[in-house]
């Protein structure tokens, strides 16, 4: 039985990606206890699927295509910083995503519903659009990291037009995850 660790994501616009890398470089400190997302792995996650049996991958891709057929390209604005579940006890450090049209949130809700019908467990929390920058290696980010995140709360990273969604395979090794695009669906 072969399974592929998978997720559904929106690839990042190169300009927003460069601004995000500059932000991470300002926040990052050696030995800060954060596993920062490598430049090549920056993406906007819509749904983490976990292990998907290779025979289910085509059906998941069909669902992505069906959901995306209902959407025209839309704009997102990337600005601000924060932490989840809260900045004071951040396990995930993120850049904010402004979904003014509501398209991103609707797309995630549609994917959740369609994938639940296929047997994928729905996310128990409401979707909060965010771009993950890093994850705390321990229970939470240090006070020093939190202070540096607070210093960047007004950062503007830019706007991008969402024109495609990808199904991505994630392969873990000792250096961290590497990603391979399995399918790209244009809006």
Query: What tens digit of pLDDT does each residue of 95-110 get?
Result: 999 999 999 999 999 9
Nearest alpha carbon to residue 92 among 57, 157, 48:
48
Q: What is the pLDDT of residue 141?
A: 87
Say whether pLDDT at 27 is over 90: yes
Burial label for 174, CB within 10 Å (0-12, 13-18, 19+), is exposed
Residues 6+ apart with CB under 8 A from 49: 6, 7, 8, 60, 115, 120
DSSP state of 64: H
Q: What is the pLDDT of residue 138?
A: 87
Q: What is the pLDDT of residue 44?
A: 97
Q: What is the pLDDT of residue 139?
A: 84
Q: 88-111 burial, b for 16+ CB within 10 Å, e for fewer?
A: eebbbbbbbbebeeebbebbbbbb
Q: What is the pLDDT of residue 175?
A: 78
pTM of structure = 0.93
* Residues of the domain holding 110: 3-186
Across 112-124, average pLDDT: 92
Say whether pLDDT at 90 is over 80: yes
Pairwise CA distance, residues 36 & 27, whole Å: 10
Both tokens of 133, joined, read: 């920058």
Across 77-91, average pLDDT: 94
CATH number for the domain that contains residue 55: 3.90.1140.10
Pairwise CA distance, residues 177 & 152, whole Å: 27
* pLDDT band at residue 1 using 50, 70 and 90 as cut-offs: low
Mean pLDDT is highest, among 73-77, 146-150, 174-178, for: 73-77
Q: What is the pLDDT of residue 16?
A: 97
What domain count does the chain have? 1
In contact, 166 and 10? CB cutoff 8 Å: yes
Say whether pLDDT at 185 is over 60: yes
Cis before residue 90, ω within 30 degrees of 0?
no
% of the chain beyond a pLDDT of 70 = 99
* pLDDT band at residue 176 using 50, 70 and 90 as cut-offs: confident
């Amino acid at each position: 039985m072969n399974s592929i660790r998978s997720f559904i994501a929106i690839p990042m616009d190169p300009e927003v990606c460069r601004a995000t890398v500059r932000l991470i470089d300002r926040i990052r400190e050696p030995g800060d206890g954060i596993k920062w997302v490598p430049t090549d792995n920056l993406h906007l996650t819509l749904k983490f699927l976990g292990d998907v049996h290779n025979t289910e991958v085509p059906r998941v891709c069909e669902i992505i295509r069906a959901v995306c057929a209902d959407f025209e390209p839309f704009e997102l604005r990337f600005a601000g910083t924060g932490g989840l579940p809260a900045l004071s006890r951040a396990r995930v450090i993120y850049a904010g995503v402004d979904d003014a049209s509501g398209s991103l949130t609707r797309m995630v809700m549609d994917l959740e519903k369609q994938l639940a019908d296929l047997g994928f467990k729905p996310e128990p929390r409401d979707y909060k659009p965010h771009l993950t920058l890093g994850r705390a290696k321990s229970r939470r980010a240090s006070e020093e990291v939190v202070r540096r995140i607070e210093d960047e709360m007004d950062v503007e990273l830019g706007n991008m037009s969402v024109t495609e969604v990808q199904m991505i395979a994630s392969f873990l090794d000792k250096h961290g995850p590497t990603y391979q695009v399995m399918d790209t669906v244009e809006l």
